[in-house]
Structure 1
């Protein structure tokens, strides 16, 4: 759907790794997509 959305400038799949800690355990979270819209808005999201 992002490919056909005229408002989307570009998108990147699995763009970054976010390091964190849960219950004293190190975890890595990788979001599904980073979207940059033509109006300048940027979104990190999950595809469900």
Structure 2
């Protein structure tokens, strides 16, 4: 999780992203991570 926050802080420093866009980015990241976890669970079952 630390690497993700470091990357997001780097992105925020390089391009001034508004808070809503940053929230949307985090929501998309969480959804993709959740779908990856769910799909991996189904593969192992």
TM-score, normalised by the number of residues in structure 2? 0.21
More helix by share: 2
TM-score, normalised by the number of residues in structure 1? 0.21
More strand by share: 1
